[in-house]
Amino acid sequence: MQKNESSATRKWATRISREVQEAAGAVKADFEASSLKQNLDRAMQTAKQALDDSGATAVTSKVYEVTQDHLDAVTGAKILRLVEERLEIQARYNDILATKLHEALQRLEVLEQKLQGTA
């Protein structure tokens, strides 16, 4: 009995889902073709242009940048980036140092062999 109810529920859910999708598609198509969409697009463009002309967009961008800098400082993100950069530099330095040490040890080995050959 439960299996039949579950199957029937799934069928209804599938049917309802399909009908909702079709209805949403029809509403979207109607909206796209309507003068309401065109009017809303014009209103948005006019509002954006007014904000750009007044300088509000530039001020908002600057406020965002300053806020982001402060948030980075508070969260430690800036410090973390600096520490990561320093660790990368230290790793490169360690690689160079290890290479130079290896070269020096090889030269010492050659010198020791020469000394043993003369002794």
Cα within 13 Å of Cα(17), Cβ side: 6
Nearest to 36, CA basis, from 44, 25, 48: 44
Whether 98 is in a domain gets the answer yes
112 in a domain, yes or no?
yes
**Owner of token pair 């242009």:** 49
Q: Domain range for residue 118?
A: 77-119
* CA atoms of 117 and 119, how far apart (whole Å): 6
Report yes or no on 116 lying in a domain.
Answer: yes
pTM higher than 0.75 for the full model? no
Is 53 contained in some domain? no
Asked, for residue 68, whether it belongs to a domain, the answer is no
**Rounded Cα gap, residues 80 and 87, in angstroms:** 10
Q: What percent of the chain has pLDDT over 70?
A: 95
Each residue of 81-104: pLDDT tens digit?
Answer: 899 999 999 999 999 999 999 999
What is the rounded CA–CA span in Å between residue 116 and residue 119?
A: 5
Total number of domains in the chain: 1
Block residue for tokens 């697009």:
41
H helix and E strand count, the chain = 4, 0
Residues recorded for the chain: 119
Give residue 105's identity as a one-letter amino acid code: L
Convert 71-104 to b/e letters by CB count within 10 Å (16 or more is b): eeeeeeeeeeeeeeeeeeeeeeeeeeeeeeeeee
The answer to whether residue 101 is domain-embedded is yes
Q: Which residues of the chain have pLDDT under 70?
A: 1-5, 119
Which pLDDT score, from 0 to 100, does residue 118 have?
A: 78
